[in-house]
Chains A and B, each alone.
Chain A
Amino acid sequence: MFEFFAHHSKLIDQIGINALLALSLSISLRAGSLALAQAAFMGIAAYVSSIGAVHLGWNLGGAALAGALAAALVAAVLALPIGRLRGVFLAIATIGFGEITRIIAINWPITGGAEGLSGIPNDANTLSIYGTLAVVGFAIFLFGRTKLALAVAATREDESAARGVGIDVAGVRMGTLVAGAIVAGLAGALYAHSNFFITPGDFGFGRMEQVLVMCVIGGVTSSLGAVLGALLMTVLPELVRFLHDYREVSSGAILLGIILFSPAGIAGLWQRRT
């Protein structure tokens, strides 16, 4: 058992970080906004926490909090101009924001450019990653029992009706974007501190696509689903590794098979029966 963990600790850490990312996106999706800036928030926090650790000697806790705070601030500012956007228009505006962030990271000397930033202390371990996941999961659980969670669900289901009963729709959208950014930021800081180095390419559209897949495979608005989606989509490439040359084709086929079998995602498998 111990050997299993020692052997796969990298993969186990990756699952935890991906679960945080999938949760962060599901927070935004829960308010019905298809804001796809998670990879950018992750990257901003990864760079802030790494630069702090490398140049200023911050410890993991401080670096992660500073990173999450930076991501939250950027999200709060971003929420203002994109407030009127919905659906695919919101999606593409936020993807564009992600690309701009990535290009700035490539060209800004302090980030180490396209070659990446190295020498990040490797002080995030399985305990800190899963500890963070547990805290975030518990916070989401607690939030689900408040009245505010109903306001979020109402905003998703019918925006005009929500506004009609006095819900501050713009506030709900900004709040979920910022909350999602904090979680993505924590994931980004943990990601940076469990790798020796990061590059802007780690936080591009490919990453965003991956997070979206995890979330939808999980079941869009279900937290447990998001975590299971992250688990499945992180382990899948490892499971098909033995197929060598056919590994890309088979992971694509499995993804396609799952989504065609259960369009409501993993969560749809149990939600259908209740």
Chain B
Amino acid sequence: MLVQQLANGVFLGAVYALFAIGYTLIFGVLDILNLAHAAIFMLAAFVALSLAGLGVPLVLAFALALVVAGLLGVLLDRVAFAPLRRRNAGTLVPLISSIGAAIIMQGVARGIWGPDEQRFPANALSTAEIHIGSLTVGALDVVILAIALVLMGVLSYVLRSTALGRSIRAVAADRVAAALLGVDIERTIALTFFIASALGGAAGILIGLQYNSVSLDMGARIELKGLAIIILGGMGSVTGAVIGAFLLGAVETLSVAYISSSYRDAIAFGVMFLILVLRPTGLFGKRALRAA
């Protein structure tokens, strides 16, 4: 029972992690909370679903939707954040412009796909199950977990070992110094948005596949959890976000199993609240307190 619940927690946590990494990357580089991240998460799921509906193989639909999500992220930065960056508008104002952008994207999605929940085409998804001792896991869940882990691995490689990764880390550490050292700030920020939004989009598609359900409000349901995760992980820390995501996945599945499903989210937020009270900068936050 416990092992089964922990396995479920891992499947949940992997998708949370993908979503949260995108959030935390943008916060790390720009010091802003991007509340349109959840809207891109939702749009990517709809794009993949529509492509699959047109008969595009699922793998290709996934890849194309990832690119669309990434480009949407770049567009979001150009429209909602770049003009404010030039005017040094602080951190609260971009939060509001990202809410405006999220409302627009939500409206576009409603216009194109309508208000109802949608499902992937029948027989597009495997329903096979794998039994390991007393443990039962869906083959689809395993594939989703594998994709999530591969994407995290790729990101970790890009951040650690490539020129782009060095630029991103330099801009996150100190934008002015990075510019003096010849890093192209705007290009780095655009690529950060591309990567972060593609990962958020990947999370949307994978969650859409996991529950075989894509809906307008799927972003709103994960948005606050994503925020909780990146805060727990210490804002801007990718490793922290991944650990925070698996922690939240475990807390959620365990509280459903052992306490009560109706209080699942309350327990998850309660744990987050408690950790913040004990460690005001998050579990892995090494940075100084930052003002919003």
- Which residues of A pack against B, CB within 8 Å? 32, 34, 81-82, 84-93, 95-97, 99-100, 103-104, 106-107, 205-206, 209, 212-213, 216-217, 220, 245-253, 255-256, 259-260, 263
A251 CA to B105 CA, complexed, in Å: 11
A129 CA to B290 CA, complexed, in Å: 38
* Residues of chain A contacted by B280 (CB below 8 angstroms): 84-86, 89
Number of interface residues of B (CB under 8 A): 51
The smallest C-beta distance from A58 to any residue of chain B, in angstroms, reads 28
Candidates A95, A107, A250, A252; contact of B102 at CB < 8 Å: A252
The smallest C-beta distance from A53 to any residue of chain B, in angstroms, reads 27
Residue B238 CB within 8 A of the other chain: no
Question: Looking across the interface, which residue of chain A has its beta carbon closest to that of B81?
Answer: A260
Which of B10-18, B43-51, B158-166, B227-235 binds A?
Answer: B227-235
Which of B66-74, B123-131, B258-266 binds A?
Answer: B258-266
9 CB contacts below 8 A, A to B, read: A86-B291, A89-B231, A104-B266, A209-B99, A246-B107, A249-B104, A256-B79, A260-B97, A263-B93
Q: In the bound complex, do residue A248 and residue B103 qualify as a contact, i.e. CB atoms below 8 Å apart? A: yes
* Residues of chain A contacted by B228 (CB below 8 angstroms): 92, 96
Q: In the bound complex, do residue B92 and residue A249 qualify as a contact, i.e. CB atoms below 8 Å apart? A: no
Give the residues from 110 to 134 in chain B that come closer than 8 angstroms, CB to CB, to chain A. 110-111
Candidates A86, A88, A256; contact of B104 at CB < 8 Å: A256
Contact with A along B267-289 (1 / 0, CB 8 A): 00110110011001110000001
New A-B contacts (15) at CB < 8 Å, excluding given A32-B291, A96-B270, A99-B224: A82-B277, A84-B280, A86-B291, A88-B231, A89-B280, A91-B292, A92-B231, A96-B272, A96-B276, A104-B266, A106-B262, A212-B95, A252-B100, A259-B100, A260-B84
Chain A interface secondary structure, helix, strand, loop or mixed? helix
Question: Looking across the interface, which residue of chain B has its beta carbon closest to that of A159?
Answer: B291
- Which residues of B pack against A, CB within 8 Å? 27, 33, 35, 79-80, 83-84, 87, 89-90, 92-93, 95-97, 99-108, 110-111, 220, 223-224, 227-228, 231, 235, 262-263, 265-266, 269-270, 272-273, 276-277, 280-282, 289-292
* Residues of chain B contacted by A212 (CB below 8 angstroms): 95-96, 99
A257 CA to B282 CA, complexed, in Å: 34
